[in-house]
Amino acid sequence: MTTARAPRRIVVVGASAAGLTAAETLRAQGYDGALTLIGEEPRLPYDRPPLSKQVLAGEWTAERTRLRPPEAVTALALDLRLGTAATALSPSSRTVSLTRGEDIGWDALLIATGVRPRRLPWSGLPGTHVLRHLDDALALRERLAPGRRLVVVGAGFLGSEVASSARALGAHVTLVEPAPLPLAHVVGRHVGARVARLHREHGVDLRTGTAVAAAESTHGRLTGLRLSDGTHVPADDVLVAIGSEPATDWLAGSGLRLDDGVECDERNRAAPGVYAAGDVARWHNPLFGTTMRLEHRTNAAEQAVAAARNLLHPEQARPFAPVPYFWTDQYGIRVQAYGHLRGHEESRVVEGDPDEGRFLVAYRRGPALVGALSFGLPPKTLRPWRAAVAARADWAEATRA
C-alpha cells in the first residue's frame, strides 16, 4: 500500500464560514505549509445569519458580523486573496485559475464557495433585492422605514425572517408564497400553519397559493408586482427570496460531478485531493443513508472541520455523519431543529400545543425518527431528541406519550 505524500500547498476557495473554519482546522492540526484562501468578496469573513436578523433590524453594526478579529486571521499566516474569484479548476494539472489571470498550483484543494440567490428575470430592476451578502443587508436596511412598502417573494426561512425584521421597523410587508402554507414542505403543516398565523398576527399581508406573474415598473424602477391570481401589489421594494443555487459555475469543465452541489463521498472527497464543505457540498450522510446538501450555519463549520481533517489525513479519513441542526428566529421566537426533515413522511406534535405557540414536532421516514423541531421552547427540551435521531430510534417508541 502506498502512502500519499503530505500536502505542502493547500488552496481553499471561498472565504466564509466553511472556508475560514477549514483554514483554521488545517493550522490547528499542525499543517504549516502554504495555505491560500481565495474569497470573491472584498471583506474579511463575516457571518450571514445576523444579516436577516440583527443587521436588518439595525441592532448590529457591520463590524459585529466579523467571524474573527483581523489579528486572528493574520495569525493563520494565510496567502489571503480577497476580492478575487476562482474562475476554473483543473484537477489533472492541479491548478485553480483566478480572475486576475493567475493560476495557483495545489497538492490539495477544499471547495467552500457556498450558494448564490436564485433570481427572477426582472431581478435587475432598481428596487429589487436579494439577501446573501452584507452589502445586500445594508442596502435593504436603508430602504426600510415606517410606511415603506416591502414585498417579499418566497416565505421560506429567509423570507419569513425578513418579513419579521421589516415589520419591527414599521414597514408594510406583503409576503407572497405559491404553496398553501409557508415552509410546510420542509417542516410540516403544524409549523407552517403556526408561522402563517404569526405573520398575520404581526400585520403581514400573507398571500399564499399565488405566485408572481410579472413585475411592474415606471421609468425603469420597480413599482409593484402582478400576482397569478390577478391582483396587483404596489411596492417600494421587493425582496426575492426564492432559494439558492450552489456556486459551482466556476467548476464547469473541471470533471467534478456537479449535481445540485459538488458531489462528495461520505468522507467529503470530490476527487483525489479535492474536498468540499458547507452549503456547496452534497455528500452521502451514512447516518441517514442518503445524500444531502445543507444550507445551515452549524453544518458549514462542522463539515469544514471534518473535510480539513480528512484532507490532511486521507488514510485515516472518517465518514462525516452528523445529525443536522438549524435555527431560525422570527418575531422573537426561536425555532430549532435536529435531523433531516426534508422528505419526511409524517410529522406529529409530541409536546405542547401549536395553538399556544409552544410545541415540539417529531418527523418520521420509514420506521425511523428522522428529526425533531421545537417552536418557542427552551433549548433543553429538544436535546434528548437529538440523541434519539442519532440512534435512528424507532418511531413508535420515540413518540409514545
CB of 386 to ligand FAD, least distance (A): 15
Residue by residue, DSSP assigns 327-354 as EEEETTEEEEEEE--TT-SEEEEEEEEG
* Closest separation in Å from C-beta 8 to ligand FAD: 22
SS (H, E, C) 206-269: EEECCCEEEEEEECCEEEEEEECCCCEEECCEEEECCCEEECCHHHCCCCCCECCCEEECCCCE
CB 106 within 8 Å of CB 95: yes
Cell of 401: 406519550
- Where along the sequence are the contacts to ligand FAD (CB under 6 A)? 13-19, 38-41, 48-49, 51-52, 85-86, 112-115, 131-132, 158, 247, 250, 278-279, 295-298, 300, 326-328
Closest to ligand FAD by CB, 131 vs 183, is 131
Cα angle for residues 325, 12, 321 (degrees, 5° grid): 30
Q: How far is the CB of 139 from ligand FAD (least distance, A)?
A: 13
The answer to whether 97 and 105 have CB atoms below 8 angstroms apart is: no
Residue 238 or 398: which CB sits closer to ligand FAD? 238
Least distance in angstroms from the C-beta of 336 to ligand FAD: 9
Residue 369 sits at the vertex; the CA angle it makes with 367 and 374, to the nearest 5 degrees, is: 150
The residue (of 36 and 174) whose beta carbon lies closer to ligand FAD is 36
Do the Cβ atoms of 266 and 247 come closer than 8 Å? Answer: no
Shorter beta-carbon distance to ligand FAD: residue 7 or 45:
45
Instruction: For residue 243, give the nearest of 172, 293, 295 by alpha carbon.
Output: 295
Nearer to ligand FAD, 160 or 174 (CB): 160
Q: How far is CA 328 from CA 156, 180, 264, 335, 393, in A?
A: 11, 21, 27, 5, 25
Minimum CB distance to ligand FAD, residue 44 (Å) = 11
Closest CB 82 distance from ligand FAD, rounded Å: 9
Q: Are 189 and 181 in contact (CB under 8 A)?
A: yes
CB of 17 or CB of 144, closer to ligand FAD: 17
**Cβ 394 to ligand FAD, closest distance in Å?**
28
- Which CB atom, from 155 or from 393, has the smaller least distance to ligand FAD? 155
Strands (E), 41-107: 79-82, 86-90, 95-98, 103-105
**Residue 100 has which C-alpha cell?**
486576475
